[in-house]
């Protein structure tokens, strides 16, 4: 058994157990959510979960195609919803936000099929944000004993996002990426490389959560709503440049981390009394890790600039 086998098989077992738990939650009151379209989506996801578990157990790097397919299906479902043909039964957010997620999912899915590392990271960040956000919301539904079309949609998004994450992670999948010359830096075992990778991935996950806070969140702090779109833009550009191995990307991610720390503090300090604190805690689950990784990247860059570590190729 190789060094990567145990984590992969642990992921396969965890995905199996989670699937069983979700099925046990949905099955008793299936009449509250079953329609022809939801039944079709549920069956399709069940097949995807089975394929993902088998691919993880065998260690097949071709599972990246499954992750790409689910991202493209997500784009199609959002497009159908925008056209008035509701499949999921619940919207992921306001129209501008949904269209951005659909476009990003399409870019990620196509790029993953072309084995581009930046596209795989984009898909990973989007899926991680989707899994955590729907998982947090779904836990509230479960604790309240609710089961309806919305809770079914959250189950599908959460489980589907986790399938994407498990399909796009692992050394075997990363080893199949086609790296351009400027992306060879990611093969180095270096603290700055690790911090930039973590900052890039966490920024991708935090960016959509800034946008949904600004465009569709009740009980939001006005100052944070105003700053969030600009900060999301800084993180998006930083992640794009960071994925290309550019030092400027790391600088923007570090600056964005300072902004994330500031809006996180404001979201808690100025939270409205009627549910604002609970909303703030929900978004901190995305913003605080991205801030920590971005600040770590900034420190690593500063140490590099001061000559405290061996230099990386400048780009």
Same domain, 198 and 115: no
Same domain, 107 and 201: no
Where a domain ends, among 148, 178, 208?
178
> Domain of 172?
1-178
Express each pLDDT in 135-162 by its tens digit: 999 998 888 888 888 889 999 999 999 9
Residues 65 and 95 sit within 8 Å (Cβ to Cβ): no
pLDDT tens figures, 8-52? 999 999 999 999 999 999 998 888 888 888 899 999 999 999 999
- Do both 171 and 185 map to the same domain? no
Residues 96, 25 share a domain: yes
Do 2 and 151 belong together in one domain? yes
Q: Are residues 66 and 119 in the same domain?
A: yes
Considering the domain architecture, whether residues 186 and 49 belong to the same structural domain is answered as no
Q: Each residue of 177-214: pLDDT tens digit?
A: 988 877 777 788 888 899 999 999 999 999 999 999 99
Task: Tokens for 235, please give them.
Answer: 């993180």
Q: Which of 136, 151, 178 is the last residue of a domain?
A: 178
Q: Which of 125, 159, 178 is the last residue of a domain?
A: 178
Q: Do residues 143 and 213 both lie within one domain?
A: no
* Pair (77, 206) in one structural domain: no
**Same-domain pairing of 133 and 270:** no
Band of pLDDT at residue 314, cut at 50, 70 and 90: very low
**Nearest to 206, CA basis, from 99, 117, 296, 284:** 284
Out of 63-67, 145-149, 204-208, 301-305, least confident range? 145-149
Examine the domain organization and report whether 217 and 307 are in the same domain.
yes
- Number of structural domains in the chain: 2
């Amino acid at each position: 058994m190789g060094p990567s086998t145990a984590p992969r098989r642990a992921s396969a077992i965890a995905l199996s157990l989670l699937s069983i738990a979700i099925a046990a939650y949905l099955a008793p009151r299936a009449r509250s959510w079953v329609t022809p379209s939801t039944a079709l989506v549920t069956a399709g996801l069940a097949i995807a979960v089975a394929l993902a578990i088998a691919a993880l157990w065998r260690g097949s790097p071709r599972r990246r195609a499954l992750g790409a397919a689910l991202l493209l299906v997500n784009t199609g479902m959002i497009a159908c919803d925008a056209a008035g043909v509701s499949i999921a039964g619940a919207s992921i957010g306001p129209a501008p936000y949904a269209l951005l997620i659909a476009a990003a999912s399409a870019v990620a899915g196509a790029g993953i099929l072309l084995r581009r590392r930046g596209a795989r990271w984009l898909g990973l960040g989007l899926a991680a944000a989707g899994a955590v956000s729907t998982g947090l919301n779904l836990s509230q539904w479960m604790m309240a004993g609710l089961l309806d079309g919305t809770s079914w949609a959250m189950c599908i998004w959460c489980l589907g996002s986790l399938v994407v994450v498990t399909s796009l992670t692992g050394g075997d999948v990363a080893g199949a990426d086609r790296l351009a010359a400027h992306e060879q830096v990611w093969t180095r075992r270096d603290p700055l490389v690790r911090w930039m990778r973590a900052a890039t991935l966490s920024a991708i996950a935090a960016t959509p959560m800034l946008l949904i806070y600004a465009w569709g969140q009740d009980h939001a702090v006005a100052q944070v709503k105003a700053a969030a779109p600009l900060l999301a833009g800084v993180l998006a550009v930083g992640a794009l440049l960071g994925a290309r191995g550019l030092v400027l990307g790391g600088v923007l991610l570090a600056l964005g981390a300072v902004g994330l720390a500031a809006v996180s503090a404001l979201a808690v300090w100025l939270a409205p009394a009627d549910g604002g604190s609970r909303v703030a805690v929900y978004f901190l689950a995305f913003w605080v890790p991205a801030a920590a990784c971005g600040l770590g990247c900034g420190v690593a860059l500063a140490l590099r600039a001061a000559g405290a570590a061996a230099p990386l190729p400048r780009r």
